[in-house]
Amino acid sequence: MNEGIGPDIWLAGDPADLDKYMNNGIKGIVTNTVVQRELVQKYGTLTELTKKYLEITDKKIAIEIDGNSTQELLDVGEKFTQLSDQIILKIPCSDIALEAFSVLKKEGVETFCTTVFSLSQAVISAQAGADHILPFCEPFKDLGLSPTKLVKDCYETFKNWKERPKITAALVRSPDVANSALRDGADGIIIFWPVYDEILKNPLTDKWNNIFMDEWKIMNKHGHLKDLPTNLD
């Protein structure tokens, strides 16, 4: 697990939607090529989309890249890391990615290894140099399996490594799976902003927030908050 402050929350989505969340306990932004393909229709190019993300935050931004060779991954990746030291390169798990992780590790470039569906893939990618391992969750749930068993397996395997990768749960589409991933040892979760909003909603939270607000309003009504800058009228 992360030391000190606990698991990280990474958000995905349109820069226009994410702007308001950046000071709400968010570690950074993560993209994938599905989201990128949709958003370049609005922003023009992947480079321009990346610049939009950089405009809204000084936090880390994981840009997913792809290619047909290790050298292509390195060349494409360099175009993004030259934009800002905020950039993390997110690369799908494959044989050509492994060498890229090794090279990027030596260069001090932070990396995410995505599309991880087995413990063996996670270990190999970590040994190659990936800084974050992204076990997918929801596809296992779609098959009737535990969505976060791989998260737990990674945690149990990596927990005693002297230098281990972070385990960042990916394709987390619901509060239940988010909770499960955090319980099973994830160092972070990647969620779209609507899931973030849904996580904050809870009938008991709403009930008790209303109780406390009613008491606050009563104090205000009777003048007990008159020296405070309240706006309850």
Tens of pLDDT, residues 7-19 = 999 999 999 999 9
Please name the residues in contact with 188: beta carbons below 8 A apart, sequence gap of 6 or more: 2, 7, 8, 9, 10, 27, 132, 166, 167, 168, 169
**Do 30 and 90 form a contact (C-beta atoms < 8 A)?**
yes
User: CATH says 8-201 is which class?
Assistant: alpha beta
Classify residue 19 by its DSSP letter. Answer: G
Residue labelled with tokens 């934009």? 83
Domain ranges of the chain: 8-201, 202-233
pLDDT at 156 (0 to 100):
97
The predicted model scores a pTM of 0.91
pLDDT at 1 (0 to 100):
45
Q: Report, as ranges of residue numbers, the positions in the chain whose pLDDT lies below 50.
A: 1-2
pLDDT tens-digit readout, 194-212: 999 999 999 999 999 999 9
